[in-house]
Structure 1
Amino acid sequence: MSDKSPHKPQDEEIDLGQFFNAIGNLFEKLFSFIGKIFIGLFSALIFALKPLVNNFKLVAIVLMTTAILGFTIEKFKDPVYVSDMLVRPYYDSKYQLSNNVDYFNALISSENYKELSNIFEIDSLTTAKQLIGFEIEIGPETQNDLLKEYDDYIKSLDSTLAVEVAYEDFIENRDILAGSIFSIKAKATSNDIFPSLEKGFIKTFENEYSQKLKTRTDSIRAVKKLYYIEELRRVESLQETYMEIKKNESEKGEVKLGAEGFIPLVQEKTETKEFELFQEELKIRSSLRTLEEETLEEGEYYDILSSFEEVGTLEADIIDKYSLTFPTLALLVMIIVYSIFKTFKFIKEYE
């Protein structure tokens, strides 16, 4: 035992030395790997820039030519103006709205300006030819609107399926027609055509299906209103009856002998439920108020939250900046062509 004990610290020092050496080698390999990555990226960048530097004059001429060409096209191209309208359709007329937007775009593509002029009640075909297209998107929504929409969707599902639908997945995958407010964007080459387009969209909301649905909804609301009024009359009648009983008891009083005819005398009062009737009255009146609010809110087929502007704004899209996009595309084409030639040359000379 005494012979082996002096060797233990030396063995521990050897193990620690090997451990630190291993850590040092690991860090050395890691730094070497990171350095190779940076060297590779730098080499790739130099390889990509080398042909541009070697052919600087050609590249400069091509970029300058394409920029001048793009600028010229921008100057002679008709300007594009845009305008938005925010609408809230009722009675499922949003489906007809989506279909009509596609239909209007199809008429523009087929150059059926006569039909467009009839739909939007535009006086001349020349004005109709200024239309470029329409787009429909979900309008602005608050976080509360999204949460309410998600809650309504979850309630419509089976309990086993509702657990699997997360809020983020619902927001990401929901359809455009899931919203209640829609933004209609119109594009035209004229900036004063937009107010006249509103009439065409108004016709969209009042279609055969929405009329049938509104008639059915109004009938259901009328039946509910009659039921609530009848229930309110019944509650008020009971309240009047109980009040009359209380009044009679307070004026006359019914005095009887208590405990099988022996004294003391006890006055017995009729049991009433005024508080329960008052609560029921409040509930009925609240239901009536909610019904009236729904009738007023959805009394029309649509609500226009924001009309088309009188004067459209000039569209500023980076894709339409040809003085920038043309040189960029030309540079990409030159890089791709150079890479293809280098690849063919490498394959050809490969042994």
Structure 2
Amino acid sequence: MSKDSQTPQPQSEEVDLGQLFKIIGNAFDRFFKFIGSIFIGIYKVVLLLFVHIYQRFVWYAGVVVLGVVIGFFIDNSSDKLYGANMYIETNFNSARQVYENLKQFHQLAYEDKDTLELAKRFDISIKDASKLKGFYIEPDLDENNIAKMYSDFYGQLDSISRLEMTYIRFKESLTPYNYSIHRIGVASTDKYIYKKIEKTFTEQLSGNPYLQELVEVNKLNLNQKDKVLVTQLEKTDSLVAEYLKIRISESKKQQIPNSGTNLYMGNAESTNLIVDESKIIEKRLGLENERMQINKALVEEKNVVNVLAGFPKSGYDISEWTDKKKFVLPIVLFIATLLVFSIIGFGKFLKSQSKILN
């Protein structure tokens, strides 16, 4: 009897599995039917839309042609929008000042349209100032520079901070002020205005007495350091000349083993020859290299803002297709016509339903 009581268990398990698979199959069937009903509904809506447009084709074709004609006339009578870029490098942490000045210029040109103030700032006529339409600035992003900034920053951290500061986190923490190179864009309706404002525009970018004082002090320090290096070079040249004289005089004497002129410095042992002309020459080359670096710094840090690439002689068309009325007006009129017919059709539907209910 124990064997007979155990035989029904596999059958019940098979029944349970069959019901489970049936439920899963029904769920998938309903899911696919739901997806299919969505596509069928979309198809019907699109089909009704094309039928509607086909039945009123004359109306829609008329508004599209009308929009093209009106838009073409507006575009020809309107001024074109031109743009040009300038690339600058900021020194002495002056990026904040540059961004603030650019915001003010944009406010004057784009929102306030204060042509009098713009003409005064850029030393141009009021007519030319009225053609300035906007000022824009953004950092010139370069992954290589960001990686270098991260490497320098990472090397200054302790072991615990290094575990937390990843490259992604460092990159997300950067602000436009952390970059040294920036791209400035100017929008105007006059394609030849950019060279007229370039010089005064660059001067206006860094108008800050504190920054100007930093520039002057930096020049003084660099010039003073250069004078010290010149003095060291003169002394080095003098030492080389004296050493060569000693070499020449010694070479004329009769050569005796372990004899010669030894020049010693400080507490050096008498068995070592301290003065070596090759080391003096290396020292002189090092001083010359420092002078080269100073000359380079005098150029790179001559101004608060360095112009890496100035404005081109003429601007270029920066208008998008959305700015052209011959493209926008036909679309707007087409959508407006569709809405009007939809409202009329919906009103007729409500009217028919009210009659049925009454």
Q: TM-score range by the shorter chain?
A: 0.5 to 0.7
For structure 1, which runs of at least 5 residues remain unmatched after alignment?
238-249, 253-267
Q: Deviations over 1:21-45 (max 9, x none)?
A: 2332232122122212323333444
Counterparts in 2 of 1:157-168, with a 5 A limit?
167-168=167-168
1:318 corresponds to 2:325: no
Equivalence for 1:39: 40
Q: CA deviation at 1:298?
A: 2.1
Partner residue, 1:99: 100
Contact 1:91 1:213 in 2 (8 A): yes
In the alignment, the residues of structure 2 paired with residue 17 and residue 287 of structure 1 have an alpha-carbon distance, to the nearest angstrom, of 87
Kept in 1: contact 2:67–2:330 (CA 8 A): yes
User: CA offset at residue 222 of structure 1?
Assistant: 7.1
Select 2:121's aligned residue among 104, 119, 125: 119
What is the CA–CA distance in structure 2 between the aligned matches of 1:345 and 1:170, rounded to whole Å?
Answer: 61
Q: What secondary structure sits across from 1:308 in the alignment?
A: coil
1:245-285 deviation line (CA, Å, top 9, x unaligned): xxxxx659xxxxxxxxxxxxxxx979x9x9xx99xx89x97
Aligned to 2:249: none
Mapped partners of 1:191, 1:93: distance in 2: 29
**One-letter code of the match for 1:121?**
D
Which region of structure 1 is more displaced relative to structure 2, 218-227 or 47-56? 218-227
Q: Which moved more, 1:107-116 or 1:130-139?
A: 107-116
Q: 1:84 to 1:215 in 2, by over 3 A?
A: same
CA drift at 1:198: 0.8
Cα gap change, 1:56 to 1:159, in 2 (>3 Å): farther
- Residues 174-215 of structure 1, C-alpha deviations (whole Å, 9 max, x = no match): 543332212222222222221111112221255312212223
Question: In the alignment, which residue of structure 2 is the partner of 1:77?
Answer: 78
SS in 2 for 1:3: helix
TM-score by length of structure 1 reads 0.68
Deviates more, 1:167-176 or 1:37-46: 167-176
Identify the residue that residue 176 of structure 1 maps to in structure 2.
176
CA drift of 1:312 comes to 1.7
1:330 is matched with which residue: 330, 333, 342? 333
1:194 paired residue number: 194
- Report what 1:308 is aligned to: 311
> 1:266-277 counterparts in 2 under 5 A?
none
Secondary structure in structure 2 of the residue aligned to 1:187: strand
How far did residue 73 of structure 1 move? 0.5
Tell me by how many angstroms 1:83 deviates: 1.6
Map 1:137-176; keep pairs closer than 5 Å.
Answer: 137-139=138-140, 141-150=141-150, 167-168=167-168, 171=171, 174-176=174-176
Question: Take 2:191 and 2:223, find their aligned partners in 1: how far apart are those partners?
Answer: 46
* Matched-pair contact (CA < 8 Å) for 2:102–2:205: no
Q: Distance in 2 between matches of 1:328 and 1:28?
A: 42
Q: Contact 2:300–2:306 at 8 Å: present in 1 too? A: no
Q: Which residue of 1 aligns with 2:243?
A: none
Gaps of at least 5 residues in structure 2 are 240-257, 261-269
In 1, Cα distance between the equivalents of 2:335 and 2:174?
37
Q: Which AA in structure 2 matches 1:213?
A: L
Is this contact kept in 2: 1:121–1:199, CA < 8 A? Answer: no
CA distance in 1, matches of 2:212, 2:158: 31
Deviates more, 1:319-328 or 1:91-100: 91-100
Distance in 2 separating the partners of 1:41 and 1:162: 54
The question of whether the paired residues in 1 share the 8 Å contact of 2:101 and 2:205 is answered with no
SS of the residue corresponding to residue 83 of structure 1 reads: strand
Q: Secondary structure at the match of 2:190?
A: coil
Match in the other structure for 2:130: 129
CA spacing shift, 1:143–1:343, aligned 2, 3 Å: farther
| Number of positions where the alignment pairs a residue of Structure 1 with one of Structure 2 | 323
- Corresponding residue SS for 2:306: strand
What's the C-alpha RMSD, in Å, of the aligned pairs? 4.9
TM-score scaled by length of structure 2: 0.67
- Contact 2:98–2:206 (8 Å) recurs in 1: no
Seq. identity, %:
26
Label 1:196 to 1:18 Cα distance change in 2 as closer, same or farther (>3 A).
same
For 2:340 and 2:156, the matched residues in 1 are separated by: 56
Q: Conserved in 2, the CA contact under 8 Å of 1:93 and 1:205?
A: no
